[in-house]
């Protein structure tokens, strides 16, 4: 079964001629249709309208987009928390360097003195099985027979969401386990993070990302504002996620991190790994070698065969002794 071309469904399915034709004919994207609409048409002589056909590729595209829709919340977060290296081969190497590799000399440079050049490689290898993440998703025969497409569609979204959350949890765990620069709770939470940022910057790295869990975030807010709530802030220059319109609450929520030099982006992440710890780091110090993005494999039209498929992704997280001082962790929060 694995040798058939339609057994692997990735984002390229959205460029399938049948899918593009349907979208052009109707003026609607595949994601705008419900699974019920397309499944009903598929079973009705494969016709959505008189001249609009629904093929098995269209069904596969709808299933894929529904999974991605569910995955988007956490996927947008993990994509922004690391430096992604897109791999075309199972084994690849990339050069890494830091500002510490370059030396500035005073006076004439004669005879020539080498400056920098201390470049090493980071090696990715996704051939081992443990670099694969898999989740089996199946449709219950009874749900299909009773046309419970709303339930099926919601299940696909939740499956995608859970899958993307697992990837994010892996990243947070990796950064926490590999943070070479640490700072135990010192005097107060603001002072703790200030000291940690200073250590990272003194080591020659930028601080451009921070991860904090909800419970620890609440502690930080109480430290900053007290239990009576915040006073009005003069500035609301902040955007969180995809929200374009700033408001006072968002600015107040994130104001405490904004005081610390170097932190340009913040994220609240709910994961047990962060309880009692805050990660503050340089994104250039942690890499994801991404060999295969979220993909459906062993796909065999479930509406026809009443069977499931495997949701899979292949990647490897890496840092290096040369750059891991850019990964910081505040403990004892």
Q: What band does 124 get if pLDDT is binned at 50, 70 and 90?
A: very high
2 pLDDT above the threshold of 70: no
What mean pLDDT do residues 282-291 have?
96
Say which range, 72-81, 131-140, 144-153, has the weakest mean pLDDT. 144-153
User: What pLDDT does 102 receive?
Assistant: 76
Report which of residues 56 and 214 the model is more confident about: 56
User: What pLDDT does 223 receive?
Assistant: 66
User: What pLDDT does 299 receive?
Assistant: 81
Pull the structure tokens for residue 253.
């929520």
Nearest in space to 209 (alpha carbons), one of 113, 328, 47, 56: 328
pTM of the model: 0.81
Pull the structure tokens for residue 311.
């949701």
For 177-210, how does the pLDDT look when each residue is reduced to its tens digit (9 = 90+)? 999 999 998 777 778 888 898 999 999 998 888 8
Q: What band does 226 get if pLDDT is binned at 50, 70 and 90?
A: low
Q: Which residues of 68-105 are buried (b: 16+ CB within 10 A; e: fewer)?
A: bebbeebbebbbebbebbebeeeebeeebebeeeeeee
Report which of residues 93 and 78 the model is more confident about: 93
The whole-angstrom separation of Cα 94 and Cα 123 is 7
CATH fold, domain 178-287+324-331, is hypothetical protein PF0899 fold (3.30.2320)
Give CA angle at 323 (212, 321), nearest 5°. 110
Largest separation between any pair of C-alpha atoms in the chain: 84
* Pair 284, 83: CB distance under 8 Å: yes
Report the mean per-residue pLDDT for the chain.
80
The whole-angstrom separation of Cα 271 and Cα 160 is 17
For 87-106, how does the pLDDT look when each residue is reduced to its tens digit (9 = 90+)? 999 999 999 988 888 777 77
Q: What band does 248 get if pLDDT is binned at 50, 70 and 90?
A: very low
Domain positions in the chain are 5-88+128-170+288-317, 92-124, 178-287+324-331
Best-predicted range by mean pLDDT among 23-32, 50-59, 140-149, 295-304? 23-32
217 pLDDT above the threshold of 80: no
**Beta strands in the chain, from DSSP E residues, in sequence order:** 8-9, 47-49, 52-53, 83-86, 91-96, 120-125, 132-137, 181-184, 209-212, 266-268, 278-281, 287-297, 309-318, 327-331
User: What pLDDT does 94 receive?
Assistant: 93
The percentage of residues in the chain with a pLDDT greater than 90, rounded to a whole number, is 40
User: What pLDDT does 71 receive?
Assistant: 94
């Amino acid at each position: 079964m694995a040798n058939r071309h339609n057994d692997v469904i990735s984002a390229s399915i959205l460029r399938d001629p049948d899918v593009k034709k349907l979208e052009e004919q109707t003026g609607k994207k595949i994601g705008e249709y419900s699974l019920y609409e397309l499944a009903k048409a598929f079973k009705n002589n494969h016709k959505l309208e008189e001249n609009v056909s629904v093929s098995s590729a269209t069904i596969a595209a709808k299933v894929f987009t529904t999974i991605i829709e569910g995955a988007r919340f956490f996927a947008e977060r993990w994509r922004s928390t690391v430096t992604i290296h897109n791999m075309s081969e199972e084994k690849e190497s990339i050069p890494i360097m830091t500002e510490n590799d370059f030396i500035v000399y005073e006076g004439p440079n004669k005879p020539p003195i080498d400056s920098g050049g201390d470049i090493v490689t980071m090696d990715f290898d996704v051939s081992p099985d443990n670099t694969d993440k898999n989740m089996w998703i199946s449709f219950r025969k009874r749900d299909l027979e009773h046309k419970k497409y709303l339930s099926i569609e919601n299940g696909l979204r939740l499956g995608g969401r859970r899958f993307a959350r697992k990837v994010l949890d892996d990243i947070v765990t990796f950064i926490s386990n590999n943070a070479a620069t640490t700072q135990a709770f010192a005097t107060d939470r603001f002072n703790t993070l200030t000291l940690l940022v200073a250590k990272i910057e003194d080591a020659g790295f930028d601080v451009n990302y921070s991860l904090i869990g909800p419970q620890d975030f609440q502690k930080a807010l109480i430290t900053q504002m007290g239990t009576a709530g915040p006073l009005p802030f003069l500035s609301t220059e902040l955007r969180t996620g995809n929200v374009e319109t700033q408001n006072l609450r968002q600015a107040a929520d994130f104001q405490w991190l904004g005081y610390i030099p170097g932190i340009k982006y913040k994220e609240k992440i709910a994961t047990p790994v962060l309880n009692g710890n805050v990660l503050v780091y340089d994104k250039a110090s942690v890499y994801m070698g991404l060999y295969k993005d979220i993909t459906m494999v062993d796909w065999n039209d479930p509406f026809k065969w009443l069977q499931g498929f495997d949701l899979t992704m292949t990647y490897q997280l890496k840092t290096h002794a040369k750059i891991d001082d850019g990964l910081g962790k505040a403990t004892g929060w």
